[in-house]
C-alpha cells in the first residue's frame, strides 16, 4: 500500500532559486530511489524549515529512504529532523480531490 | 502563490473505515473552505497521529483555515497539534514528478 512520508527540519537556506540550483542534482538522484513515486520540495524561509512530502510504493521503501535521508541530512549538519510515515485515508482523500 | 499546509496531531482513532464513516460529512464540508484545492487525509495508528496535507490557493486562505481547524480540533479534545504553512519549490518538485 502506498505511504506518505512527511519530513521537515531546521534549514537556514539557500531558499528559492538558489536552492533549486544547489539541489538540482540531488533531486535527479531521488528519482532513482526504490519505490519513490513523487516528492514535493517544501520550504519556509521565515520559520527556517526545509523538508519534503513524498509518496512511496510501500512502507519498507519509505522506511529505508527515511533512514538514509536522515543520515545524509545529519552529515550535512542539519538538525531537528522530523520524519513520519503516514497512511492515506483513501475515501476521505478522494472526497477532497487529493491527487491519488 | 499556492501553499501547502501540513497538519498533524495526537489522535487515538477511530482509524481506517470507521474513521471514513465518522468523518465523511466533515470531508464534504472541507470542499467549501475558501481556497482549498485538495487534501490528503493522513493517519498512523501505531504512532497515534492523525492529520492532513492540503494545497491552498494562497497563504491567507491557508492561514485562516489553520486557525479555524486548530480551534475545532482543540474543541474536540485533540492535543499536540502541529501546523506549518510551506512554500513549494516548484522546479525541484517538477523534477520529482510531484502532482503540481
DSSP-based three-state secondary structure for A74: helix
Tell me what ipTM this predicted complex has. 0.96
The CATH class, in words, for A3-95 is alpha beta
Handedness of CA B55, B61, B62, B68 (dihedral sign): negative
User: pLDDT value at position A48?
Assistant: 97
pLDDT tens digits for B17-51? 999 999 999 999 999 999 999 999 999 999 999 99
B85 contacts on A by Cβ (under 8 Å):
44
pLDDT tens digits for A34-73? 999 999 999 999 999 999 999 999 999 999 999 999 999 9
Instruction: Measure the CA–CA gap between A100 and A2, rounded to whole angstroms.
Output: 10
- Per the DSSP assignment, residues forming a β-bridge with A81 are none
**CB-CB under 8 Å, A43 with B86:** yes
Average of per-residue pLDDT values in chain A: 97
Instruction: Sketch the domain layout of chain A as residue ranges.
Output: 3-95
**CB-CB under 8 Å, A44 with B20:** no
Residue B14: is the preceding peptide bond cis (ω within 30°)?
A: yes
Instruction: Measure the CA–CA gap between A47 and A32, rounded to whole angstroms.
Output: 30
Amino acid at each position: 500500500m502506498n505511504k506518505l512520508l512527511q519530513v521537515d527540519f531546521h534549514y537556514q537556506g539557500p531558499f528559492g532559486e538558489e536552492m533549486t540550483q544547489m539541489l538540482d542534482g540531488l533531486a535527479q538522484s531521488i528519482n532513482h530511489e526504490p519505490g519513490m513515486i513523487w516528492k514535493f520540495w517544501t520550504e519556509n524561509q521565515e520559520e527556517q524549515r526545509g523538508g519534503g512530502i513524498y509518496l512511496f510504493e510501500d512502507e519498507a521503501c519509505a522506511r529505508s529512504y527515511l533512514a538514509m535521508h536522515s543520515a545524509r541530512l545529519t552529515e550535512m549538519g542539519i538538525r531537528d529532523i522530523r520524519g513520519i510515515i503516514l497512511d492515506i485515508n483513501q475515501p476521505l482523500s478522494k472526497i477532497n480531490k487529493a491527487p491519488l
